[in-house]
Amino acid sequence: MTDKKCVSATPADTDENILLSSIITGGNECYNEIIDILNESIFNNYTNRKIFNICKALHDESKQINPASVLSMCAETNISVDHIINTPTLNVDQIKDLGLRIQNAFLKKHTMLEYRKLIDNIDQLSATEIGTKLLASIESIHSSIISKLSGVSSDIINLRDVTAPLVEYWATNPSENVGLPTPWPKFNEPIGGGMRTGVTLIGARS
Q: What would the DSSP string read from start to end of 101-150?
A: HHHHHHHHHHHHHHHHHHHHHHTTS-HHHHHHHHHHHHHHHHHHHHHHHT
Q: How many CB atoms lie within 10 A of CB 37?
A: 19
Contact 22, 14 (CB under 8 A): no
Give me the pLDDT at residue 4, please: 39
- Summarised one tens digit per residue, pLDDT across range 170-184 is 667 666 555 555 666
Give me the pLDDT at residue 6, please: 38
Q: What share of the chain has pLDDT > 90, as a percent?
A: 28
Looking at per-residue pLDDT, the higher value among 135 and 197 belongs to 135
Looking at per-residue pLDDT, the higher value among 203 and 87 belongs to 87
Contact 77, 34 (CB under 8 A): no
Distance CA 36, CA 58 (A): 16
Give me the pLDDT at residue 44, please: 86
Contact 201, 186 (CB under 8 A): no
Distance CA 72, CA 56 (A): 15
Angle, in degrees to the nearest 10, between helices 11-26 and 67-76: 120
Give me the pLDDT at residue 182, please: 60
Q: Is the pLDDT of residue 195 over 70?
A: no
User: What is the phi/psi pair of residue 54, to 5°?
Assistant: -65, -45
Angle, in degrees to the nearest 10, between helices 11-26 and 92-122: 150
Give me the pLDDT at residue 187, please: 61
Give me the pLDDT at residue 55, please: 95
* Stretch among 51-55, 82-86, 116-120 having the lowest mean pLDDT: 116-120
Give me the pLDDT at residue 117, please: 79
Distance CA 102, CA 42 (A): 8
Looking at per-residue pLDDT, the higher value among 178 and 52 belongs to 52
Q: Is the pLDDT of residue 197 over 60?
A: no
- Summarised one tens digit per residue, pLDDT across range 128-169 is 776 667 667 777 777 676 666 655 554 555 555 656 666 666
pTM higher than 0.85: no
